Amino acid sequence: MGHHRPNTRSKGKRNRPDDYAESAAEIFRNVLSTSQVTEDDVNQLYMIWKPACQGCRVNTKDNPNCFCGLIPSSNSSRKSGLWQKTSEVVNALGPDPSDDLRASPETPAGLTNLGATCYANSILQCLYMNKSFREGVFSIEPNVLKQQPVLDQLARLFAKLHLYKMAFVDSAPFIQTLELDNGVQQDSHEFLTLLFSLLERCLSRSSVLKARAIVQDLFRGGVSHVTTCSKCGNESEASSKIEDFYELELNVKGLKSLDESLDDYLSVEELQGDNQYYCGSCATRVDATRNIKLRSLPAVLNFQLKRCIFLPNTTMRKKITSAFCFPEELNMTRRISEHFQSELIYDLSAILIHKGSAANSGHYVAHIKNENTQQWWEFDDEHVSNLGCQPFGKGSSHSAVKPSQTEQLDHSSSDVIIENGNGPDAGERQASSSDVTEVKTFSSCDAYMLMYVLRRPKNGDKMSIDSTGDKAENEACTSSEVDSHLPSHLYEEVEKLNDSYVDSCEQYKMKKESELNCITERRQEIRSILSKAAVQSPEKSYFWISMDWLRQWADNITPS
């Protein structure tokens, strides 16, 4: 054989396979010629002389004392079997019910979306979070609930939102009772109007005063459409007629703030020319003025912002997405035609938001303040998140804007907080208050409905009717007690659901622990057996075991 320099690839490698092949061939020739197999032949052919492997990770094919390939190393795993990731084993058990546990009893629960029911969910959350309305619903007699499916399902829904330990409540029973189409997105304002009308009808059966008139007591105000003769100054007969309202519908187009919209709503219209008015006193057609007058205001004042308008040429609906400002505190004293001894101060309590640029689609969410804690929450169907003490939170997309910038907010896409000392309605505040306090103003391109709650008088303050002061004081004292007074049958029903839910959480936990313990014990058992299995010396007695059988044994949670 000629001399050659070894190439770098084979440099330093031993040619043991060749040596083994030659010696193995020699042994086989001897066995064939002598028809005898010695113990030494077996030791050589099966390489029993090789020392026990100390961990090569790959399972050396020619070492019968290497078990490394049977189990993965401590920091790796397999796709299936005993050595797969424990997270995969846990996933196979299905979802963990405790993942749906409420973060805390103070965290409100969400409502499931059944396809396109976000408009209803947002309104229901606004109503539930209003403590007076909630207490009114809880005060309905059980026999009335039995006769009225809508009231029954509403009370059940509120009871679950109040007490259920899960982070969200199934809204299906209530939505189905109303016979709403799950797949069709509807207008939240229209839904609220129809719901109030339906609830008033159902509640009229109740003999509990608090329940029977809850919708009217909280949400109903009165307006008059007043026509005044410019000649004699007399008002028309119809002017004295007071019409009920449950929300004030305000224009948004071309208007920048709630203050401007209210001015627009209450503005005086001139009736002249072809549009003259026939005055009974003057017995002729005369110039006149017409305007809306607010006669009485409810405890909960709803403003419906007319963001969706009809385009006359196309009969299509279009959404107005310009920014609109509204204050945290609203003084309605000068807006009402009747004079009150005390100021009518309202606090912002909920904002219904319509996300999306199209009028016929999009998504509704509600930002609502908890009356007890003064914390704001975002209700987005099943998901409820804490916003802190601001209605739009303190996220990166919400920035503080100086009052001088309010003019440039028209095309802003996010909701912002304006620290407002001299904003759009500052004049009103200065007129009504000797010491000017800063009122926060918020701006949103998507706010669709605003809910304000009348501030209850503090001790010492007087309202126009003295007895109301006493009532409000008493209510404030007992609200926390009333809060927990659900009808007993509903309380028991929700507690049963809670027991069942807690039980399912426990069952899952036990199953998971048992499964993981079983795997851990089995893995330890296999590691322990394999660590002692290697034959340390050929002199000791040993068994031959099939590699396939060993693989199966070492990779099954329950061995055959």
Name the nearest CA neighbour of 383 among 548, 552, 168, 85: 168
Tokens for 360, please give them.
């016929």
Q: Are strands 168-169 and 110-111 parallel, antiparallel or unpaired?
A: parallel
Cα 166 to chain centroid distance, Å, stands at 13
Q: Of 68, 282, 308, 363, which one is the catalytic site residue?
A: 363
229 is catalytic: no
- What's the first-to-final CA gap in the chain, in angstroms? 56
Give the CA angle between residues 453, 454, 456 to the nearest 5°: 120
d(CA 474, CA 468) in angstroms, rounded, equals 10
Which residues 6+ apart lie within 8 Å of 438 measured at CB?
419, 420, 421
Q: Which of 53, 118, 202, 445 is labelled catalytic?
A: 118
> Could you give the 3-state DSSP secondary structure of residue 224?
strand
Q: Of the candidates 263, 260, 273, 275, which has an alpha carbon nearest to the alpha carbon of residue 227?
A: 275
Is 282 marked active-site? no
Question: Residue 49 burial by CB count (10 A; 0-12/13-18/19+): exposed, middle or buried?
Answer: exposed
Which residue's structure tokens are 């083994």? 20
HSE, side-chain direction, 13 A CA sphere, residue 482: 16
Identity at 484, one-letter amino acid code: S
Task: Give the integer Cα–Cα distance in Å for 253 and 324.
Answer: 10
CB burial of residue 540 (10 Å; 0-12, 13-18, 19+): exposed
For tokens 């796709």, the residue is 79
Map 134-184 to HEC letters: HHHHHCCCHHHHHHCHHHHHHHHHHHHHHHCCECEECCHHHHHHCCCCCCC
Does the CA dihedral 400-402-403-408 come out positive or negative? negative
What is the DSSP code string of 284-348? Answer: EEE-EEEEEEEEE--SEEEEEEE-EEEETTTTEEEE----EEEESEEE-GGGBSS--SS--EEEE
Residue 123 · residue 192 · CB < 8 Å: yes
Q: How far is CA 149 from CA 20, 144, 145, 178, 195, in A?
A: 88, 9, 7, 9, 13
Q: Known catalytic residues? A: 118, 363
